[in-house]
Amino acid sequence: MNENGLRILVTRRWPAAAEHYLAERYDAAFNTEDIPLAQETLSRAFDEYDVICPTVSDKIDAAVIGAAPRRARLLANFGVGFDHIDIKACEKAGVMVTNTPGVLTDATADLAMTLMLMAARRAGEGERELRAGKWTGWRPTHLMGRQLSGKTLGLIGFGRIAQATAKRAHDGFGMNILYYSRSAAPENIERNLSAKRIGSLEELLSASDVISLHVPGGADTQNMIGAPEIAAMKPDSILINTARGGVVDHDALAAALKSGAIRVAGLDVYPEEPKIPEVLTELENVVLLPHLGSATEETREAMGRRAAANVDAFAAGAPLPDRIV
């Protein structure tokens, strides 16, 4: 049923309940093959649909957006991050952009802790050894890792996901919490987490046993963690990234992991997904996951509801609840 005549394109498969919701209310087209759409296809969509619902796998750049007038007036992004969308080009073309904040906080924080545990306990190495039939049995010095309990966790960025990660680390593992952020957290949050704000990135890196990245992607954070920053870390430190792949210089990271300048890393995001830097796949002391941060049934369904709520508001001519531009 599409009483308002609104045409919608959903660029990747969404949870069934979210797709069903949109299909009932709008003239909605779905990418049933669930592979990234070509740039030419995305560009044509701006003339064929009123609303486009992209994901992080869609590169919505200035060439795709084009110049006004285009039919599409809203990009209802399925995800909280939007560095794959050229926001300035959207502003120029008069295209609104929304995202899905808040609903993926717990899932991403859970995954950050998963990566910490896997990296600290060498779980990835152990599973690869076992599956390859190379495990010869228990022995006292086999794949010895480190405990997280009592270690210092340094968080770069201290928004909702970082704070949720800090709570898990502090309450569950007794970790000491440091953070580096442009602004201080409310006093009650610092008190509840026994969190201390550090004035410089270098100071935080040198003081932390585990470093977890929680900053947005974009020009301001591109290669934020490069060779100089890695050199400031402890030799036995663990680097975790569930933010955006471009935040880390992966060549510098691989060099540090090879040389032993840092102990291990755990990554869920990469600069040119789904391509994974080959310099990393060759290493044992890095855990590599395929962008699973929000990949729980509960979270992905909530993301679909949140994106749909922005579409509903647009259709009704109401203020968009999660408007970015």
What are the φ and ψ backbone dihedral angles of 117, each rounded to 5 degrees? -65, -45
Residue 24, SS3 per DSSP? helix
To which residue do tokens 């408007």 refer?
A: 323
Residue 282 is among the residues annotated as catalytic for this protein: no
Catalytic choice (13, 73, 291, 323): 291
Q: CA-CA distance, 143 to 96, in Å (whole number)?
A: 51
Q: CA-CA distance, 99 to 274, in Å (whole number)?
A: 21
Question: Alpha helix locations (H) across 185-226?
Answer: 187-193, 201-207
- Does residue 104 contact residue 80 with C-beta atoms inside 8 Å? yes
* Residue 7: strand pairing partners: 27
Catalytic choice (12, 84, 244, 306): 244
Q: Which helix (H) or strand (E) holds 153?
A: strand 152-156
Residue 263 is among the residues annotated as catalytic for this protein: no
Tokens standing for 166? 């800090």
Residue 127 is among the residues annotated as catalytic for this protein: no
Q: CA-CA distance, 23 to 227, in Å (whole number)?
A: 49
Say which DSSP state 246 is in: G
Strand intervals (E) in 181-296: 195-197, 210-213, 238-241, 264-267, 286-288
Give every strand in the sheet of 195-197, ordered side by side.
195-197, 176-180, 152-156, 210-213, 238-241, 264-267, 286-288
What is the dihedral sign for C-alpha 172, 176, 182, 187? Answer: positive
Catalytic choice (19, 91, 273, 301): 273
Q: CA-CA distance, 302 to 108, in Å (whole number)?
A: 14
Give 184-191's long-range contacts (Cβ < 8 A, gap of 24+). Answer: 185/158, 189/163
Q: Which helix (H) or strand (E) holds 248?
A: none
Q: Which helix (H) or strand (E) holds 230?
A: helix 227-231
Active site members: 244, 273, 291
